[in-house]
Structure 1
Amino acid sequence: MLRILCLALCGLLTPARADPGALLRLGMDIMNREVQNAMDESHILEKMAAEAGKKRPGMKPIKGITDLKVKDVKLPVITLSFMPGVGIFQCVSTGMTITGKSFMGGNMEIIVVLNITATNRLLQDEETGLPMFKSEGCEVILVSVKTNLPSNMLPKVVNKFLDSTLHKVLPGLMCPAIDAVLVYVNKKWANLNAPMPVGQMGTVKYVLTSIPTTTANYIQVDFNPVVQQQRGDTIQLADAGEALEFPKDSAAGSSQLLLSAAFLTAELALLQKSFDMNIQDTTIGELPPQTTETLAGFIPEVAEAYPKPKPLVTRIRINKPPKVTMRTGKSLLHLHGTLQMFAARQRGRAPVSLFLLEIHFNVKIQYSVREDRNALVLDLKLD
């Protein structure tokens, strides 16, 4: 699951003023992928089939059939749908062949196609406080049944035998598969409360604020991140002053992540020192390395002081915490600090300061998702 999507599960967005942080809608695209991955990773149907023929304590033998085995389990087709206020309804369609010795003494094969249905209720674990799915009301519905029992047998006898056999075998065989898949899905939330490092500058921890809630189209997610510096101090999120709202033109069934400017501001504050830089003998774009001759055309005093070109050293220091602002279709990162230009001298001698400017960088932010992570691309503009 997207790592960012593993942040939290909680209540519905209300029209009231929203707490700063982030909101998430888990659409059916994510849920389908995660349940299918859990089914594939667990190989649970194959494992259940392998266990079918083993004798287990307290298990009564099935009358009329011995040496029971299950084989040829078909690749399952999983269908999910949201149940408002409850969780997710799950249907697993599959097929298999049941073999054994029949009551007539010969080898018997029963080829079945079936649906396993269950309600996966979305709850909050009392011990950990994490979200969890729990299955309820598992049923096995037969779609078709074929057998190699002789056709001259009385239909009622065959049907009664098949009905008795399948209803004893299938629920105990198939329903545990639903629970096993949910174990894999629930593991996705295991590290939800663990602090996530932001480089070596600090951590972000995502705190659940309410129990999970499901709508007809998505699971609404709400969480408050705690941004903490490496030394342990918490960076308080500013009050955004307005509710977070999802765009109305999003694709049906898609998942959406909404990050507040307050949250991004607090997280980027951890990286404030990372924006400091010294530039010397560096090519910027198509420009060659800059020298005092470059400045001479703008500042005559530089030409007088340095008739021979000297390399330039540029020192940028950000002296205020970064701030993110957002408007429809536009996000900016504001960096306030100083830009100081030096003329480099021979080795061992300190560079000579030429001038010092107060600066305000407007850095355009573009967002994308790469390998299940939210990525920020910065486009620098200097005011």
Structure 2
Amino acid sequence: MKMLKLFGILFFCGLLTPSQEVLSGLSCAVSPGAMRNVLSGAILQNGLLQQHLQSLVLPNIVGEGGLLNAPISITGLHLLKAQFPELSVMLLPGIGVQMTIAAKLELRGNSLIGLLSEIINILVDVTITANIKCTNYESGTVQVVIEDCLCVFGAVKIKLLSGLLSLSVNDLVHNQLTAALPRLLCSVINIVINLVNIQLLGTLNAVIPVGTTGTIQYQLASLPFTSGLFLGLDLDGVVQQMGGSIIPHDSSSSALPPLLDKLLLLGLRQSFLNAVLSLLIQGQPQMFTCVPENFSGANQLKEAVMAALPAGCSSCPRTGPLNIKITLSGNPLISLEVNKATLKLSVMIQLFIEHLDGSVLNLLLLKADLGLNVRVSITESRLLLAVSLSSTTFSLESSDVGISNISSLKPHCSNVLVEKLLPLVNGFLSIGIPLPNVLGIQLINADIQILAGLLVILV
């Protein structure tokens, strides 16, 4: 059979060894069971194979051997019904994927045996096996090659209404049918797999919005590879600000844990998560007046600021509204350790007085370095992060009125951050990080593992 080349998808592909390139972004391991589910759903359950088998044009069967060696002619032979009791997948290390489909075909046509014309039904059991691999990776695409498509026939049962059927007719139909069907069936398999390729490619190479701040472009990063236990895929995740530049993230090597009895393993590297977080956590400075209506510790903070003013400062205001401005400083950085995720975030806290003429007196400018505990969950194919305050380190950046001791201010400023900043950050994070829909496998009841430098999702 002529080798047919198909373009577009990767899940069937195999190489001798895993990709040697160090990649940033995501890595996936897909089990044979998951691939069987994906292919069965796309090819059988959706009726795709049935639909294309209906268009089979079978050759006429002609010969001698009917009653009294009368001529035999079977015409208009077509598929009446097909059943597919089984589809199986085997990973071939260093080769690719072997897909096997068991089919029961019911054919019908018009028969003329001698002078007797009637309807003929033919029942065929056949097992179709195709070895499939890929090559020639380029810019997110691969070339898929289908090899060694074989058809193994089981029982072939022939029924006439009259029941008059000689052994020679049976042999003639069997021989001509089993000679013609492999080429036709393998051609249909190629067409169907090509359509499935196009369908599943969209689950890997896709641009997904991240709220209104930017996008993530997922793309196949290299040739897939197969072992006897899983199909391995590496994806790049290009993080881009809306209408702006790409946010870079460095490459890092991370070993995936065993897939065990799971269908899919999706590993997100720390550097990729940091790029997405810098897209999520951004916003205008928060400005508000230090009054109880805005946060619970307002009076205590104001009293602490007034107490910290130098005793001999004649220009220091002792009354009037105190204003607060909180500004994000630098990019957030997530750190992944075994069973632990923390987020480092820096902000500038300005305490100031605004005079009637619009001028500003900077009482204090503090830098706060926050350590945040991160909780991770999955909802509707999005990775959700939520943070709580673990630690805060304050440093004095400047003071126009000569404040030098900030020790009494620290607990009150921490309260401000908990009440005003953390809800804002968690609001940013509630958008979630959209995840690739790898081969259409749903992230339902997913388990999450946190390893050194790697966040792992298991389904």
AA partner of residue 27 (structure 1):
S
Residue-by-residue CA offset, 1:315-374 (whole Å, 9 max, x unaligned): 432111111111111122211112456899xxxx99998865422232333444433x24
Q: What percentage of residue pairs aligned between the two structures are identical?
A: 20
Structure 1 residue 199: Cα displacement: 3.4
Tell me how far 1:70 sits from its aligned partner.
1.5
Pair 76,10 (structure 1): closer, same or farther in 2 beyond 3 Å = closer
Opposite residue 94 of structure 1, the aligned amino acid is: A
Question: 1: CA distance between counterparts of 2:175 and 2:288?
Answer: 80
Residues 91-112 of structure 1 show CA distances to partners (whole Å, capped at 9, x for unaligned) of 1122231111223222211222
Taking structure 1 as reference, are residues 60 and 251 closer, same or farther at Cα in structure 2, changes over 3 Å only? closer
Amino acid corresponding to residue 271 of structure 2 in structure 1? A
What is the 5 A alignment of 1:30-49? 30-40=34-44, 43-49=47-53
The aligned runs of 1:28-177 (5 Å cut-off) are 28-40=32-44, 43-52=47-56, 60-63=59-62, 64-75=73-84, 77-104=86-113, 105-124=117-136, 129-149=140-160, 153-169=165-181, 171-173=183-185, 175-177=187-189
Structure 1 contact 265–323 (Cα < 8 Å) conserved: yes
CA contact (8 A) 2:137 2:223 kept: no
| Corresponding residue for residue 22 of structure 1 | 26
Q: Matched residues in 2 for 1:369 and 1:164: separation?
A: 56
AA of the residue aligned to 2:60: P
Distance verdict in 2 for CA 1:125–1:103, change over 3 Å? farther
Q: How does 1:1-383 map to 2 (within 5 A)?
A: 18-40=22-44, 43-52=47-56, 60-63=59-62, 64-75=73-84, 77-104=86-113, 105-124=117-136, 129-149=140-160, 153-169=165-181, 171-173=183-185, 175-190=187-202, 195-206=207-218, 208-230=220-242, 232-238=244-250, 240=252, 243-248=253-258, 250-252=259-261, 254-274=263-283, 277=286, 290=296, 292-293=298-299, 295=301, 301=307, 315-340=325-350, 356-371=365-380, 373-381=381-389, 382-383=391-392
1:85 CA drift (Å): 2.0
Amino acid at match of 1:78: L
Instruction: Find the aligned partners of 1:13 and 1:61 in 2 and give their Cα distance.
Output: 49
What amino acid is aligned across from residue 143 of structure 1 in structure 2? G
Shift of 1:130: 0.4
Cα-to-partner distance string for 1:51-95 (whole Å, 9 max, x where unaligned): 236xxxxx8533231232322222453211111122211111222
Q: In structure 1, what is the Cα distance between the partners aligned to 2:149 and 2:18?
A: 31
Q: Name the structure where strand makes up a greater proportion of residues.
A: 2
Deviations 1:215-261 (A, max 9, x none): 21222223444433345434332465xx301124x423532122221
Pick closer, same or farther for the CA change 1:181–1:275 going to 2, 3 Å.
Answer: farther
Deviations 1:138-178 (A, max 9, x none): 22222333332466644344133223224324641464134
Q: Which amino acid aligns with 2:92?
A: M
Residues 32-66 of structure 1: CA deviation (Å, up to 9, x unaligned): 2332232157633332343236xxxxx85332312
Cα 1:224–1:60 change in 2 (3 A) is closer
Distance 1:164 1:339, change over 3 A: same
Tell me the amino acid that sits aligned with residue 257 of structure 2: P
Specify whether residues 215 and 187 from structure 1 end up closer, same or farther in structure 2 by C-alpha distance, changes over 3 A only.
same
Q: Aligned to 1:159, what secondary structure does the other structure show?
A: helix
Secondary structure of the 1:163 match is: helix
- The alignment partner of 2:83 has SS state of coil
Structure 2, gaps ≥5 residues long: 1-8, 63-72, 309-316, 393-459
The 3 A distance-change label for structure 1 pair 296 and 194 is closer
Contact 1:130–1:192 (8 Å) recurs in 2: no
Distance 1:173 1:10, change over 3 A: closer
CA deviation vs aligned residue, 1:5-47 (integer Å, no higher than 9, x gap): 999x997557x89444332222224422332232157633332
Which residue identity does 1:180 align to in structure 2?
V
Q: Which runs of 5+ in 1 are unaligned?
A: 54-58
Could you say if the C-alpha distance between residues 98 and 295 of structure 1 is closer, same or farther in structure 2, counting changes exceeding 3 Å?
Answer: same
Q: Describe the SS at the equivalent of 1:270.
A: helix
Partner AA of 1:144 in structure 2: A
- TM-score if structure 2 supplies the norm length? 0.64
Please tell me whether the aligned partners of residues 218 and 253 of structure 1 are also in contact (alpha carbons under 8 angstroms): no
Contact 1:134/1:182 (CA < 8 Å) preserved in 2? Answer: no
1:246 maps to a residue whose letter is L
Aligned pair in 2 of structure 1 residues 298, 85: CA closer, same or farther (>3 Å)? same
Q: Could you state the TM-score of these two structures normalised by the residue count of structure 1?
A: 0.75
Confirm or deny: 8 A CA contact 1:35 1:181 kept in the other structure.
Answer: no
- The one-letter amino acid of 2:131's match is T
| Residues 23 and 234 in structure 2, CA contact (< 8 A), matched pair in contact too | no
Secondary structure of 1:188 counterpart: helix
**Structure 1 partner of 2:422:** none
**What stretches of structure 1 move > 6 A for 4+ residues in a row?**
296-300, 304-307, 341-344, 349-354
Alpha-carbon separation, structure 1, partners of 2:43 and 2:272: 35
